Structures are given as C-alpha cells and as structure tokens.
Amino acid sequence: MRFAEEMLLLLLDEKTGYFIPIPEWKMSCALAGSVLIDLALEDRIDSDLEFLSLIDPRPTGDDLLDPVLQEIVEDAQVHSPQYWVERAARRSDEISTKAIDRLVKLGVLTADSGGFWTLSSKVARSRRYPVIDGKTGEEIKSRIMRVLFSDEIPDLRDCAIIGLMSGCGGMRAILEPEEYELAEERIEILTGIDLIGRTIGDAVRSSYRPPGSIRSVQRRPIPTVGLFGMLSSRTLRSGNLPKFMCEKSKELGPIFQINAGGRRLVVLAGAHLNRWVGRKGRLHLRTRDYLEAFQQEWGTARSIASLDGADHFRMRKAVHAGNSRDVIMDRMDELLAMARGAFAQWGIGKVIPGEWSCQRMIGDQVAQLSVSIVPSDILDDLLKFEYRALLVHVHGLLPRFLLRTPAMKRYKARVLELYAQIHASHSPAQRKGKRRDLVDDLMELHQSDPQFLPETDLGFAFIAPIIAGHYTGSATAFAIYEMLANPHLRDRIVAEADALFSDGDPVAANLDRSAIDVTHRFIMEVLRLHPVVPVHMRTAMNAFEIEGMEIPAYSKIMIAFTAPHYDERYFKDPDTCDIERYAAPRNEHRQSGAYAPFGVGTHVCGGALWTELQLTLNLLLIARHLELELVPANYKLKISPFPKLSPGKSFKFRVVRHRHPLKAAARA
C-alpha cells in the first residue's frame, strides 16, 4: 500500500463511517507528504532538511504518485521539502479520492452510497489486509498501536507514517488523551528515526496558511435573485425547479442566493458543488433544522432523515438490509401480484387519475414489503396529512392552524392507529417463520439500545418507508406519462416486457441487466427529467469559503443537486427524453456530480436501488398487461412543484384494453 492509503486507514473512525477530522490545510499537506515519501522510496527524489532534489525522472506507473513527480520534473529549480509539500497539497482531494477508490477495489474498504466507508468484514474480523502483490499485511492501526506501546523495534515505514501523522496532528486525533500522554515521548523518538520521513513530517508541521482575517484575496459578494426574478421565469412558473436552478446558475454562477418573502437561501447548483457536498458537506452542513418541526408533528424527535454524523451512519447500517433491492428480488412474486391487483381496480375504459393511482399502487407494495401490513385506505389519510405537514413546516407556505382542522385531526389519529398496527404485528409470535423486514431491524435496534432509538421515535421510523413510497408513486406517474408521450420508447419497453414474461413470471435470476436494459435506462431518464425531490435543505453549522465566497454559519442552504440534469454541458439536448445517453459510448450519467436523482452527500437515498428496481418492474408489468392512452390524447405534462415535484392533477390516462390477462403466469 501507499502511504496515503495507510494514513487514511489510520484516520478511519469505524463508528462514524468517516475519517477523523484534521484541519483541512494540515491534512492536505500530510497527503502531499505521503506522496513525496513514496517517491523517495521509489528512488525518484531525495531530500534533506533544506533541499528536495530529483534523482530519476521516469514515471513510476502509479497514478497516485506520477502527477506530483511530473511537477517536480518540469520545475527546473531546486526547492525545499516544505515548498513541495505546500505545492502538492493542492492535489490533496485528488490524492484522497484515488487512495479511497483503490482501497475499495482492493477489498479493504466497503463504500456506502452516502459517502461512508467501513473496513470490509473480512479485514475487520481478521485485522489483516487481503493479498496485495503476493503478500498479506497486518492492519495499520493494530501495527502502529503495537509499535507505540511496546519496545518492539519498528519498521522505518512505520516511523515515517508516525512522523506524518504527528506532523498534521493525526496522532493526537486517533489516540485518547491518556494514550497520547503515555506515547508522546516514543512518538517523538520514532519520528526522528527516518530522515526522509522526518524531513517531510517537519515540512507538514511547519506549513502555514494565513487565517481568513489577513488573507489578501478579496471575497466576492453572492449574486442574488429576488422575487421578481423568480416570478418572471417561465421555467419556474411551469414548475420545473431543476431547470430553473440550472438557468440561474448559468446566469449568476453556481452559487447564488434567493431573497424572496423575507427568506434568504444560499443555493449551490453545479456538478462540482455536488462533488464538494459529497466530500466536505458533512463538515459544514447540518440536516436537522428544517425537519425539526415536521418531525415533532408526527410525535418524533429524530429520524434517519434528520440525523447527521455517527448517529446517521449507525441508523443507515441498521436499516440497510430492509431497504435493499434484495427485498424485492426475494418477494418479486408478491410485488407482481399486488401490481396486477391494482390494474384490476383501474378497469377498462375508466379515466384514471395518474399520480393518485400510482401512489396508491406503490404505497401498497411498500407497506407490505417493508412493514408487512395491508394498509387499505389508511394510505390516503397518511398522504393528506403528510402533504399538509410539509407545506406548513418545511416549505412555510401555509399557517400552522391548518394542521388543526377536524379533517387533519382525523387523519393524524389514523396515523397513530397505523403506528400501533405495525407495532402489534411485529411480536416474535406474529413474525415467526416470516421473511425479516425493515420493522424487524428497527425493533432489534430499539431493544438493544432504547436510548438511541426510543419508543417515541419508533412510530415515524415505521411509516417513513411508506412516505417514501408516495414519492416513488409520483415517479411512477411521471414514467407512465413519458412512456405514452414517446411512442418509439413505449414500443421498445413493450417488446422488452413481452420477452421477459414470455415463459411466465420472471424470477430473480432472470433480471440480469440485459433483460431489463431498455426499461432501466428509461427509468434513469425519467428520474433525470423529473426528480421528485430536486433539492436538499441544510443549515451551515460551520462557516465555510467556496468559490471565493464566504458562507456564514447559520446560513440556510439549498443544494440544487439536480440542476446539472438540465445542463447541456453534461446532457445533450437535456429537454429530450433520450435513453441512449446512458449507454456506451456516451455514458453521460457517469460524469462526476452530473447525475444525482437520489441526492448527494451523506443523505443520499439509501433505498435508491430498491426504488430503481421497483419502478422498472412496475413499468414492465404495465407494458405487458395494459394498453394505455393519455386523456386527452394531446395532453402536455404540467408539473406541481410543492411539496415535491409531481405530475399535475390534470394528468390522467385510460386503460384501452388488457394486452394479456391479469393473472400470474407460471414459468414454462
């Protein structure tokens, strides 16, 4: 392994799923120093306390080292180690990203979609790394702790790592205060053993970036769009918030602020800002504030959506299995049966309200697959109460008393009934012999740590997936519209569905990528064009500087992560429904930070793969069984932007005929 990889492993906090924070400039210098030490060990450079010199200009063949080596080769002058530490520190994001990616590929780290990392189960269990270059190795933390707290003669490599970590403050960060006090003298001795390591470590330790108060760079003011600028936008009036954010980012830059109705929001809208949020957002942005009152309305103090840091990571791990696509794969026959039951209720010749019908269908599926109940009409009451609570507490568009009307009180009472129904159905006796679901995982966490997940927070945790199902229902409605509005794509989806169901209902083994390729790419395009949740709201918990602008603490932040979806720099003809953009050689969705239908940062949707598969299967089943038409035939989509992006209530369709009978077909 390279020094950068082992430094990051030393700093990995397995409780939080992230790296122990080190002051940003110091960490950047330490990563730069790690590359320089590796170059010294590769006999490309040499260094003493005053000068760093080039020995061999040939590339090492390692993309972690060669960019810095090339800079040294191209510079005709000889500089101090500190000069090169500070210069290479500008590449720190690149160095850390490559190092983490390599650790994942090696099977040392396991990545989570929210930007969390954990040691792979094998490494965590054995405390040894997998075979690399024909060798296996002891896990770095165990190795360094043994060196620090024994009389063992250390390897020079370990001395260099300790020197780098000491120089950036990392040794103090990974040790408890009492441990550091015991090891401080030995750390000092070990740091001085290796000359190269000591030289780079000293350079890291002495590197200095002036504080903001005496910087010479003039901060730029944040451009502002006011209420008139919003109301005059035809795009915003049409409800297309992602496209509006894209247009404003082109006009004003990727960071601007909205000042409307006395509310001031700082907007981050750009692919590179999506990447910034993924890497550094957790250090500066907090989720809790905008959801606090909404959650209290449901009787809960905390939820996975409002948690940050170690608590959020712990909750994500606890619900990972219950939110995974494996649930759908294992219970696909149930999902298909529920979808066919919904189709039967739609009937033939009736005009079907688009979004409501899809939300009802998807909500039933999610309720049975996630929490193992048949919710009946209680879903409608839940949906009405949720929408009103969002408009009151999250968007601030309605006064609070509108949540206290007789109807809303009745809906809320039904929600409390649902809490009790789910709880009662998950006793050990009731669950015996049944496939484990999300509620089983939540109950286990509650029983093992009732302080972390108390009874007062359980109810909302139970129904959160059903609420998420409402959003998936809206996405299903968008998919039906786009399929009917694009006959050439509808024909391809129908052909794929007929092939998939030709021998009877598919099983999990039949759902390889090639079998559902067209429909899956179509769903990806629908999620690009119509992301149901187009922005994240956050609070700046720590001030930060970005793009030459200072964002003060307590600022309200809107992360417009879907703005790049309508940027022609990333997506050719972005207003066009084009599924070829997700196939080689275009692969437009793979441009870093450009395609983000499920969010960015630590709160990226943990059920993204579930959602994609559920959408794909439902659309395939619709294509197999139903011939649909828009009502009226020339209907053009209208979008409602609150409390989420939804097809307008005017979106309706009619079932013309059943292409195939609504019954399960056994495989031939």
Q: What is the DSSP string of 640-664?
A: E-SSS-EE-TT-EEEEEEESS-SS-
- The pLDDT value recorded for residue 213 is 44
Burial class (CB in 10 A: 0-12, 13-18, 19+), 575: exposed
Q: Which range is least confidently modeled, 146-160, 444-458, 530-544?
A: 146-160
The pLDDT-based confidence of 198 (bands split at 50, 70, 90) is confident
DSSP assignments along 315-381, one per residue: HHHHHTGGGSHHHHHHTHHHHHHHHHHHHHHH-SS-EEEHHHHHHHHHHHHHHHHHS----TTHHHH
Average pLDDT estimate for 127-145: 77
Domain residue spans of the chain: 3-210, 276-658
pLDDT higher than threshold 70 for residue 216? no
Say whether pLDDT at 572 is over 90: yes
Contact by Cβ (8 Å): 608, 598: yes
State which H helix or E strand residue 260 sits in: strand 255-260
Residue 556, phi-psi category: left (phi > 0), alpha (psi -120 to 50), beta (remainder): beta
User: For 38-67, how does the pLDDT look when each residue is reduced to its tens digit (9 = 90+)?
Assistant: 999 999 999 888 899 999 999 999 999 999
Return d(Cα 74, Cα 76) in angstroms, integer.
6
Q: In 33-150, which ranges are E strands?
A: 45-47, 52-54, 109-111, 117-119, 128-132, 135-138
With a cut of 80, say whether residue 131 has pLDDT above it.
no
Q: What is the mean pLDDT of the chain?
A: 92
User: Over 60: is that where the pLDDT of 303 sits?
Assistant: yes
The per-residue pLDDT for 217 is 47
Least confident of 24-28, 192-196, 501-505, 640-644: 192-196
Q: pLDDT band at 215, cuts 50/70/90?
A: very low
Among 403, 379, 382, 380, CA closest to 391: 403
Reported as a single tens digit per residue, the pLDDT across 496-544 is 999 999 999 999 999 999 999 999 999 999 999 999 999 999 999 999 8
Could you tell me the pLDDT band of residue 1, with boundaries at 50, 70 and 90? confident
Q: Under a CB-based contact definition with an 8 Å cutoff, are residues 76 and 85 in contact?
A: no
* Helix ranges (DSSP H) in 175-297: 177-191, 195-206, 227-231, 234-237, 241-252, 271-284, 288-297
pLDDT of residue 134: 53
Write the single-letter amino acid at 136: T
| Amino acid at site 164 | L
Q: What is the mean pLDDT of residues 228-235?
A: 92
* pLDDT given at position 609: 96
Start-to-end CA distance of the chain, whole Å, equals 52
Which CATH fold topology does 276-658 show?
Cytochrome p450 (1.10.630)
Predicted pLDDT at 262: 78
Rounded Cα distance between 485 and 570, Å, is 24
Mean pLDDT, range 119-138, rounded to an integer = 78
CA distance 463 to 299: 12
**pLDDT: which is higher, 255 or 113:** 255
Name which CATH class applies to 3-210.
mainly alpha
Give the whole-angstrom CA distance, residue 297 versus residue 434: 33
Q: Are 658 and 626 in contact (CB under 8 A)?
A: yes
Round to whole Å and give the CA distance between 490 and 94.
Answer: 42
CA–CA dist 647, 637 (Å, integer): 7
